[in-house]
Structure 1
């Protein structure tokens, strides 16, 4: 009988079991080519109608970081200031404008399903959330540690980095090379039988 998972144990550990939410990183920059390679892989993760509403702003300059830090809650500000790379991940509420190109099999989807702003807003955030998860796993696959945070003033973040009003900040990621061992022990998770029901 073949193994239930195709990934070897080392890869499973890298992506899930040994990975932790990181607060400290090695003092080494994260190359643009690495982030590009990660995105070029994880962009193939499924979203509704291939909508791909995730938008990413990479905070690389000191000027941008100075604009970012006041948006963070106190508990997240220092570690965000020290991270080699920070990414602000947002949902593009106007993602539907790209659908005729991204989902040519049903170009009417733009108007049929997303004419209502509330529906579009919900879909954008849901599918961008899927893409955020893919992006985190992709960064781990590149050997990077990631510290995802929702502790920030989203309205202030949107004013600073998405002033067009069509993007909604969802998550801030601190990204960098690992700095030694993970700082926190693995916390418990719900078990299969607590989550999964067969009907």
Structure 2
């Protein structure tokens, strides 16, 4: 029987969590980043393909490398964040399937598919993994500022040249500044968004 997460945990993960744009000056250790990944990787993906790849940008040199490719509205908050995770995807995820899905020849299901289909599959599943990543980070005490608003092609050229990896979205990570949290925007009600048939 599944265990139910307590109310306090649900508040941390969902109800009280916000997208953060302001940050307090506090370091995020490499060990904590590994813990976040090690939780996030446990979430389900199609055929356990696990296409997400992550580059943690935290050094001044790394931030300066990323900076020119950010939309203007994302520059200051990204430069101020202790870490920016580039959530990326390996479009040739099938190369890892003999290890990740050993019960059958899952590589054969994907390896001859057109590149645009592989990219769509990688995008869907790395986006799922990116959501798991946000929940993992929140559960370990970090705040998150996920965003698009950057030049994917330029980021790919700078960080993933010569690979089959492409950027998906960015997540700023650290401890959010409570003074810079905006009120939560509305969400659709169950009746507006859902149907039981």
**Fold match by TM threshold 0.5:** yes
Runs of 4+ in structure 1 deviating by more than 6 angstroms, as ranges, are none
- 2:112 corresponds to which residue? 115
CA RMSD of aligned residues (A): 1.4
- What is the deviation of 1:131? 0.1
Q: d(CA) in 2 for partners of 1:38 and 1:179?
A: 21
Specify the alignment match of 2:19 in structure 1.
21
Superposed displacement of residue 55, structure 1: 0.4
Give ranges in structure 1 of 5+ residues lacking alignment: none
Give the 3 Å change call, closer, same or farther, for CA 89–153 of structure 1 in structure 2.
same
In 1, the alpha carbon distance for the partners of 2:179 and 2:14 equals: 15
Q: Contact 2:40/2:132 (CA < 8 Å) preserved in 1?
A: yes
Say whether 1:146 aligns with 2:132.
no
Q: Deviations over 1:123-152 (max 9, x none)?
A: 111000000000001101111110011000
Structure 1: distance between partners of 2:101 and 2:195 = 33
**1:103 paired residue among 91, 94, 101:** 101
Name the SS for the 2:85 alignment partner. Answer: strand
The yes-or-no answer on 1:8 pairing with 2:6 is: yes
Task: Provide the C-alpha distance between the structure 1 equivalents of 2:191 and 2:24, rounded to a whole number of angstroms.
Answer: 38
Question: Unaligned 5+ residue runs, structure 2?
Answer: none
